Amino acid sequence: MFRPIDAITIGYLLLLSVLVAFFNGNLSRPWAFIFLHLCIIALIVGLVFLARRMRSELVRFCREWYPGLFFIFGFEEIGYLADMVTPERFHQALIALDYAIFGVHPTVWLGQFARPWLTEMLMFCFASFYFLIPFVGLVLYFKNKQEELSELLLTAGIAFYICFLIFIFLPAEGPWITMIHLHPEPLKGGPFTWFVYFVEGLGTIRGGAFPSSHVAVAVVVLIAAYRHQRVLFHGLLPVIIGLLVSTVYGRFHYAVDVLSGVLVGLVGFLIGLWILQRSRRDVREAAFRK
């Protein structure tokens, strides 16, 4: 049986393939992306049918967790598709909006508070993003909260996919690239600072500043923890608040990226919750008719 996350992911891949076919002027090998998308769809369909026929814990685990791996792939793929619609970048509008709202450039203003200990603490919060979904998801998985895990992956997936599509139509570079002349001194910290800069330098995508997918998905995870693991929520709350601050303090995002990321996270969660409620109602009605 297909779950909502399966349908949403397949729908996202099909929509992305249509966009690639239509806006292919700036891509060197557009049909390679479409072929890859079709292969991933075939793998998802195959995994769904395999899980129905086999009572294997490994298959069940892969069935539950493949979206987490796909989110990583989807994020990195957008780096190759950011020029698909337009090679232009829209970060000047974000810089101007930041200044209009706050009267300063937030990344520059926060620089006056930079201290190695503060940088390290905030980079720890930023680095937590890489583990949020696996950590909270595994807690739910081993507590046999399958519906709650499905909710987490679906809502996180919707938030990610909204961000990915916006990246394509409104690509923008982050302030650590566009405003480097205003940040003469690099931030100094410790091992977490080094780890974040290493990962971001290796895996960050060009054009994916607005909205902040880090913030959007962190908001989704925090809501899921509040709903289903209240003790975990209290532990995550200060870390995720620190994550939101670190995205601007660390010069990865403009402040408006954070605000829009919070909005995308809330919208993604509400859409996912509505889809799940409709799906469960349809299942109950089908069972009643039988």
Residue 208 lies in a domain: yes
User: Which pLDDT score is estimated for 19?
Assistant: 95
- 79 assigned to some structural domain: no
In a domain, 189, yes or no: yes
Q: With respect to residue 204, please indicate whether it lies within any of the assigned structural domains.
A: yes
24 part of a folded domain: no
pLDDT attached to residue 288: 55
Tell me whether residue 246 is in a domain.
Answer: yes
The number of domains in the chain is: 1
**pLDDT of the residue at 160:** 97
Query: Looking at residue 156, what is its pLDDT?
Result: 97
| pLDDT score recorded for residue 286 | 53
Report if residue 27 sits inside a domain. Answer: no
- Look at the pTM and tell me if it is higher than 0.85: yes
Residue 277 region by backbone torsions, left for phi larger than 0, else alpha for psi between -120 and 50, else beta: alpha
User: What range does the domain containing 140 cover?
Assistant: 87-289
Query: Per-block average pLDDT, block size 10, for the chain (290 residues)?
Result: 92 96 87 96 92 82 90 91 90 95 95 94 96 94 91 96 95 90 89 91 78 96 95 96 96 96 97 90 57
Q: What is the pLDDT of residue 36?
A: 96
Examine residue 64 and state whether it is found in any structural domain, yes or no. Answer: no
